[in-house]
Amino acid sequence: MINKTHHLYDSSTSRTSETFNHDNGFFYPILGDSNLMKRIKQQIRFASEVDFPVFISGDQGCEKKDVACNIHYHSARSREPFICIPANLHNAQTYRDYLHHCIDHVGKGSIYLEEVDKLDPSFKDELIFLLTQDSFQEALRKNKIRLIVSCTEPFYNLPSEQQFIAKILGSSVPQFNFHLPPLRERKQDIEQHVQYILSRFERQVLFSDDAQEQLTEYEWPGNISQLQNILLLITSLDQTEITADDLVRLGLCQKATPKVDLIEHLLSHDQTLWTNLHPALSKALLFLSEHFHEEISLSQIAAASYTSASHLSYLFREHLGTSFKTMLCQLRIREAQRLIMTNPLIKITDVCMSAGFGDLSHFEKMFKRYTGCTPREYRQEQRRENEYVIAH
């Protein structure tokens, strides 16, 4: 049954306020009113006002090149060329020749090195060779060229690449690093993107409530690029009303993947779930997974993540919907459950200390809050289950 409430996207009513865009319209605007995008916009403003190299990370399909364009066109270099050097050139020699050409013709503009972590090893060798030559660095300084570099992974998640990236950006010059979050982390901004993209196609499309919800809840692994392609396919249907059944029938959208258990990933040291989060949060979760059984504080984990305690607290709530203390407590309780399940004869005081709790009374209180029973009741239940298994 189709919900009769509809969402009309009309090209004449697309929102353009509070966005970054250049008058020539050559690149995608930076849209969104979520806290994440407000932070990104502030970082773009800052990057456009300073003259340091910029490192932008984000999933494939995110607006990294558009962010780089915005930085350039809102800076004092806006009248100078902006040149992108793609990662998919034919061979290393072509890559080197094109980079030389750009240096000679960009003037006082900006050079954008795209997805350097995805470069073929031979391309990386050419890039390092050029950028470590004194003559090449002198050409950059003489022409006052700004480097903007992008990667698909956050800088701090690329330990094997950090030396390579440092050579590109230069070790003696400060670099401004920021991470562009994937579209799935800024769902409240999707409606703006849909409205803007359809305005470019000059089409009116009516979405049912179910279809609108499906567009919002979809994970969008291809990010903005995928969203644009899907909306283009939708407009090609030449029908003004789109339902969730239409989206499923066309294979354009699938149900969002079920939420995974972050606590379980932390206990198993599986980093796949958080590698695309904010770099500082990603480092904090890695530190937490390795040291949760020790006496740790927010300040300590913030220092290990190269950020402030207040900012890390904000990242926990913004990205994970919880506080550091709550997650630490849940992690320790889950570890306590695992210890009891593994050895139902274990002493409760040993469980308390091994899981990271320093106070038995606090441990028992927290255990009951999160599991609904006391540690001793939980242990007794595990003993009964073991006895049943042995008996049968």
Specify the CATH number for the domain of residue 237. Answer: 1.10.8.60
Q: Are residues 375 and 237 in the same domain?
A: no
13 in a structural domain: no
Estimate the crossing angle of helix 360-371 against helix 375-391, to 10 degrees.
Answer: 60
20 in a structural domain: no
Q: Are residues 154 and 39 in the same domain?
A: yes
228 in a structural domain: yes
Q: Are residues 127 and 44 in the same domain?
A: yes
Q: Nearest CA to 40 among 69, 67, 77, 76?
A: 67
Q: Are residues 163 and 94 in the same domain?
A: yes
Q: Are residues 232 and 147 in the same domain?
A: no
With contact defined as beta carbons under 8 Å apart, do 323 and 310 qualify?
no
For residue 392, CA distances in Å to 69, 213, 342, 385 come to: 68, 49, 19, 11
With contact defined as beta carbons under 8 Å apart, do 335 and 297 qualify?
no
Over the stretch 332-349, which tens digit does the pLDDT of each residue have?
999 999 999 999 999 999
Q: How many structural domains does the chain have?
A: 4
Dihedral sign of CA atoms 337, 338, 342, 347 in order:
negative
Over the stretch 216-266, which tens digit does the pLDDT of each residue have?
878 788 899 989 988 888 888 777 788 888 887 766 655 444 445 788 888
The last residue of a domain, from among 272, 299, 322:
322
192 in a structural domain: yes
Q: Are residues 201 and 142 in the same domain?
A: no
pTM, two decimal places: 0.60
Over the stretch 87-97, which tens digit does the pLDDT of each residue have?
888 888 888 88
Q: Which domain holds residue 376?
A: 328-391
